[in-house]
């Protein structure tokens, strides 16, 4: 999709990035980080140059989900920039790689720290920067969206939480910023056992969302023990099983961003 109207001055650190994709959710624990990381590694597997920015200050999950050799971000003292760490060719920045001293911060401080970390990083030439947004649609999210010219947003939700009000909040925030919501991912939507498919959280609300909000794509991801285990082991599922069902879903998501 075309880059939306962006009136701010483009921060220098972001000038060499072609597409910035926000992965957003209205609540925590719905699988946003899992989807951000697997999407990033899928795009890399498709041949793109990719970075991940984990914008969650309070609960950064990137350090658990990937296993870079160097687990601390380096500084370039002359240029006063941050050098991302890297795992399997994907550049990574997270508060979890920033070392000790994470303090209790109020909202505006958090925004300042996130924006600084994002814009002073030497990302280099990237086709995609995937931003794992902090959950919710409050001030931290809004300022982050105003600092970076987002190309597209993907909203992650789970079937039981697929309340219109919640998804609508996300869609409204992005539409205010003229960022197209290209897809909704309905995570943990079903599981298969004894040759049968179960929908523990109900079904059918996804297609309503697509109709009501005019979002072009809806993707389902099943509950998969391997998806959770791979997240905990530091090896994304799409890397561990590049031919699997999950990897195919991520390839489809990758095509629409």
> Which one of 19, 24, 34, 137 is in contact with ligand ADP (CB under 6 A)?
34
Residue 31 touching ligand ADP (CB under 6 A): yes
> Which one of 188, 209, 235, 239 is in contact with ligand ADP (CB under 6 A)?
188
| 66 vs 149 by CB, closer to ligand ADP | 66
d(CA 47, CA 238): 14
d(CA 87, CA 94): 13
Strand partners for 186: 157, 220
Least distance to ligand ADP, CB of residue 5, Å: 29
Query: Which residues inside 217-236 make contact with ligand ADP, applying CB under 6 A?
Result: 221, 223-224, 227-228, 231
Region binding ligand ADP by CB under 6 A among candidate stretches 32-40, 120-128, 193-201, 237-245: 32-40
Residue 203 touching ligand ADP (CB under 6 A): no
Half-sphere exposure of 175 (CA within 13 A, CB side): 9
Classified as helix, coil or strand, 104 is coil
How does DSSP classify residue 133?
P
Looking at the chain, the number of H-run helices and the number of E-run strands are 9, 12
- 169, 26 Cβ separation under 8 angstroms: yes
| 71, two tokens | 């687990």
Could you give the maximum distance between any two Cα atoms of the chain, in Å? 61
What distances in angstroms separate CA 19 from CA 4, 15, 124, 193, one per listed residue? 11, 10, 13, 39
Contact string 10-29 vs ligand ADP (x = CB under 6 A): ---------------x--xx
Least distance to ligand ADP, CB of residue 232, Å: 6
Pairing of strands 74-76, 81-83: antiparallel
Residue 98 touching ligand ADP (CB under 6 A): no
Residue 200 touching ligand ADP (CB under 6 A): no
Query: Which residues inside 41-70 make contact with ligand ADP, applying CB under 6 A?
Result: 61
With CB under 6 A as the rule, give the number of residues binding ligand ADP: 17
Residue 30 touching ligand ADP (CB under 6 A): yes
| 39 vs 49 by CB, closer to ligand ADP | 39
Residues in touch with ligand ADP (CB under 6 A): 25, 28-34, 61, 187-188, 221, 223-224, 227-228, 231
């Amino acid at each position: 999709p075309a880059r939306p109207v962006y009136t701010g001055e483009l921060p220098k650190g972001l000038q060499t990035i072609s597409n910035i994709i926000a992965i957003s959710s209205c609540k925590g624990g719905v699988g946003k980080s899992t989807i951000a990381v697997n999407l990033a590694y899928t795009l890399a597997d498709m041949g793109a140059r990719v970075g991940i920015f984990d914008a969650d200050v309070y609960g950064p999950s990137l350090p658990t989900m990937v296993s870079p050799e160097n687990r601390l971000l380096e500084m370039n003292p002359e240029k006063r920039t941050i050098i991302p760490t890297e795992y399997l060719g994907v550049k990574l920045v997270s508060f979890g790689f920033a070392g000790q001293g994470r303090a209790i911060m109020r909202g505006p401080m958090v925004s300042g720290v996130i924006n600084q970390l994002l814009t002073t990083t030497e990302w280099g030439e990237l086709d995609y920067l995937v931003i794992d947004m902090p959950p919710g649609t409050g001030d931290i999210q809004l300022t982050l969206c105003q600092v970076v010219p987002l190309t597209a947003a993907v909203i992650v939700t789970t079937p039981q939480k697929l309340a219109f009000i919640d998804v609508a909040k996300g869609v409204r925030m992005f539409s205010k910023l003229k960022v197209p919501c290209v897809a909704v991912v309905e995570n943990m939507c079903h599981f298969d056992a004894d040759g049968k498919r179960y929908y523990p959280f109900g079904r059918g609300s996804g297609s309503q969302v697509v109709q009501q909000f005019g979002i072009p794509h809806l993707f389902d991801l099943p509950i998969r023990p391997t998806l959770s285990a791979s997240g905990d082991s530091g090896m994304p599922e799409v890397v561990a099983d590049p031919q699997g069902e999950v990897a195919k879903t991520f390839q489809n998501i990758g095509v629409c961003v």
